[in-house]
Amino acid sequence: MKLGDLQVFNFEMGMVDLTSVWPTVCLLKIESLSDKFDLQKLVALSIPMGCEYFMILGSVAENVHEALDYAIDDCNLADLGIPTAVHEGEPIDDIVWFLLNAAIPGEKNVRCVFGYDHEDGAVREILEKLRFEYLR
């Protein structure tokens, strides 16, 4: 599978504006929950634009996973069966491989929307690997 588009945002600065429908994986790395994170808005914007899977990393990944499930329900999108899964503790190479090869089976070209709340070494490593795949 090819990474056909990469959109990156920091929750503190605001979300990306997706302008086209495209098979999308949302990869979120969140280290602390905050009222600034409007997960319902993220769901309402990303699912209609093609998000088919939410991958969650970070020290509060379990809480974000639960909050995303509620946000999907609150947006009346639960019937779409969009998976949300915690990938915390997995090697970054495995996370990127899963995103490209297993998150949306059968797709040859996907978009990744990568959101984070705190830039750290793991965020930089993920971005480096995703940018490599995008430019390949």
Q: What is the CATH number of the domain that holds 68?
A: 3.90.190
Q: What is the pTM of this model?
A: 0.93
> Given pLDDT bands bounded at 50, 70 and 90, which one contains residue 12?
confident
pLDDT in tens, 30-86: 999 887 788 999 999 999 999 999 999 999 999 999 999 999 999 999 999 999 999
Q: Compute the distance between CA of residue 21 and CA of residue 5 in angstroms, rounded to an integer.
A: 12
For 102, the domain range is 2-135
H helices present in 86-120, as ranges: 92-101
* Count, residues in the chain: 136
Residue from 38, 23, 19 nearest 115 by CA: 38
Count of domains for the chain:
1
Q: Compute the distance between CA of residue 116 and CA of residue 135 in angstroms, rounded to an integer.
A: 21
φ/ψ region of 101 (left if φ > 0, alpha if ψ in -120 to 50, else beta) reads alpha
Side chain identity, residue 9: F
Q: Which of 5-9, 36-40, 87-91, 127-131 comes out lowest in average pLDDT?
A: 36-40
**For residue 131, what pLDDT is reported?**
93
